[in-house]
């Protein structure tokens, strides 16, 4: 396992934000500049109730940028678990390939927004955790930059 590479494949970002009045803000992301891949798809998940859990996948090749307010992300690799709470609208996380992720809603009705590097492709998903571990053991992600 290459821990350094896995950390590189998980990056927290602060989204540029302008305060437009005392309480109002506008955050923005620019393709090529702020997101390290070409965006081919945007999706968002809403209507989810508090404590609901989604995800439970790794992707073979897909990279994604996620942002939301009060959604907790759980990442797993071999023996480690890492949790990141997106507790501010200007926090985002870039997840590259080879990272197992689950998302837990900490409040009702938060919207999770995702920009993805490729079109939807069911065959890019690894949804069985043991299969994910086998991909790791076989070094599937080791030779990528
Ligand atoms: C991920 C997390 C953060 C589509 O038809 N097109 C799409 O672009 C997507 C994302 C999903 N779908 C279909 C596939 C399923 O029939 O929508 C249904 C629900 O998708 P899923 O159960 O995969 O949703 P989540 O919230 O568990 O996971 C999603 C992404 O699929 C996954 O790549 O990283 O959000």
Strands (E), the chain: 10-14, 16-19, 25-28, 41-45, 53-59, 64-67, 71-76, 81-86, 91-95, 100-105, 112-116, 125-126
Q: Among 15-19, 75-79, 86-90, 110-114, which is the least confidently predicted range? A: 75-79
Residue 30 has pLDDT above 70, yes or no: yes
Average pLDDT of the chain, as a whole number: 92
Residue 116 has pLDDT above 60, yes or no: yes
Ligand 1, pocket-test mutation among 44, 46, 52, 54, most atoms within 8 A of CB: 54
Predicted pLDDT of residue 16 = 97
Predicted pLDDT of residue 2 = 45
At 80, the pLDDT band (50, 70, 90 cuts) reads confident
At 1, the pLDDT band (50, 70, 90 cuts) reads very low
- pTM for the predicted model, two decimal places: 0.93
* Cα gap 127→114, rounded to integer Å: 19
Express each pLDDT in 50-69 by its tens digit: 999 999 999 999 999 999 99
User: From the alpha carbon of 112, which atom of ligand 1 is closest?
Assistant: 3
Contact 19, 25 (CB under 8 A): yes
Name all residues whose Cβ lies below 6 A of ligand 1: 41, 43, 45, 54-55, 57, 64, 66, 101, 103, 114, 120
At 79, the pLDDT band (50, 70, 90 cuts) reads low
Would you say the C-alpha torsion 10, 45, 67, 72 has a positive or negative sign? Answer: negative
Ligand 1, pocket-test mutation among 47, 55, 92, most atoms within 8 A of CB: 55
């Amino acid at each position: 396992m290459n821990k350094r590479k896995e950390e590189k494949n998980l990056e927290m970002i602060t989204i540029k934000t302008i305060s437009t009045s005392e309480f109002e803000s506008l955050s923005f992301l620019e393709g090529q500049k702020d997101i390290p891949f070409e965006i081919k798809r945007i999706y968002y998940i809403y209507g989810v109730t508090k404590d609901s859990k989604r995800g439970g996948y790794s992707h073979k090749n897909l990279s994604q940028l996620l942002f939301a307010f009060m959604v907790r992300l759980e990442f797993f690799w071999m023996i480690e678990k890492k949790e990141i709470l997106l507790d501010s609208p200007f926090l985002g996380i870039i997840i590259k390939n080879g990272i197992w992720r689950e998302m837990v809603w900490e409040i009702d009705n938060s919207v999770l927004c995702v920009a993805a590097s490729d079109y939807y492709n069911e065959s890019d998903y690894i949804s069985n955790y043991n299969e994910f571990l086998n991909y790791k053991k076989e070094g599937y992600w080791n030779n990528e930059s």
